[in-house]
Amino acid sequence: DQQVKQNSPSLSVQEGRISILNCDYTNSMFDYFLWYKKYPAEGPTFLISISSIKDKNEDGRFTVFLNKSAKHLSLHIVPSQPGDSAVYFCAASALWNYGGSQGNLIFGKGTKLSVKP
Amino acid sequence: GAGVSQSPSNKVTEKGKDVELRCDPISGHTALYWYRQRLGQGLEFLIYFQGNSAPDKSGLPSDRFSAERTGESVSTLTIQRTQQEDSAVYLCASSHNQGSETQYFGPGTRLLVL
């Protein structure tokens, strides 16, 4: 039973356009959400995060939106660049709801983003 | 500064053999996590260590898997009597403390059990 779901295994976007990656979760105890980017043969790299007390966090070209009522978050990349081509993982933890003792991350299966020049 | 390092980067072994994977966390990081990623799957939590507290072993898939950590430094993940379904990328991550939001990952060890 997947607690974090990324229903799109792949996404193709033209350079300069917006990339929107989606993630759904089922566990209402999750209070912290992260996006990681992964290139082949490398470990995941932290991209951006959001806590459940916010609904938006922005860092340069990357914005994460959180809709708690829908248990849905999304990552927007604008403008998309060819170097953004990678697998993007959504991850969640019940970081604060268990007093910091549930810091292990629950990952989705990832979405492979291809940005075409 | 140096990131999380893991060794070996690749390991091919025969079914039934034991393997040992190593992780060097970022200096000063008290929390250390092991995950694995099987082909086509997301990352799967295995175990985590926080300082000198008892590790959270809730993600270990069987008693063939064990891990140790010396203080707040190196950790080793041992898989005994490897099976073909153990083939995966084993990833280690560390964070400043268990309440720290961001985990930093190493490059992983690619294990192939023949």
Listing DSSP states for B25-85 in one string gives PPTT--EEEEEEE-TTS-EEEEEEEETTSPPB-TT--STTEEEEE-TTS-EEEEE-S--GG
pLDDT reported for residue A38: 92
Is the pLDDT reported for residue B30 higher than 90? no
Contact A109 B40 (CB under 8 A): yes
pLDDT reported for residue A101: 46
3-62 in chain A: CB under 8 A from chain B: 4, 6, 32, 34, 36, 41-46, 49, 51
Contact A95 B105 (CB under 8 A): no
Paired tokens of B58: 């809730």
Residues of chain A with pLDDT under 50: 99-101
pLDDT reported for residue A41: 80
- Return the ∠ at Cα B14 (arms to B8 and B20), rounded to 5°: 35
The pLDDT tens digits of the residues spanning B78-105 come to 999 999 999 999 999 998 875 556 889 9
Q: Is the Cβ–Cβ distance between B76 and B67 less than 8 Å? A: yes
Q: Is the Cβ–Cβ distance between A73 and A56 less than 8 Å? A: no
Chain B residue with CA closest to A100: the answer is B99
pLDDT, averaged across chain A:
90
Chain A residue with CA closest to B50: the answer is A101
Chain B residue with CA closest to A108: the answer is B42
Work out the minimum CA distance from B48 to partner chain A, whole angstroms: 7
Paired tokens of A5: 């779901």
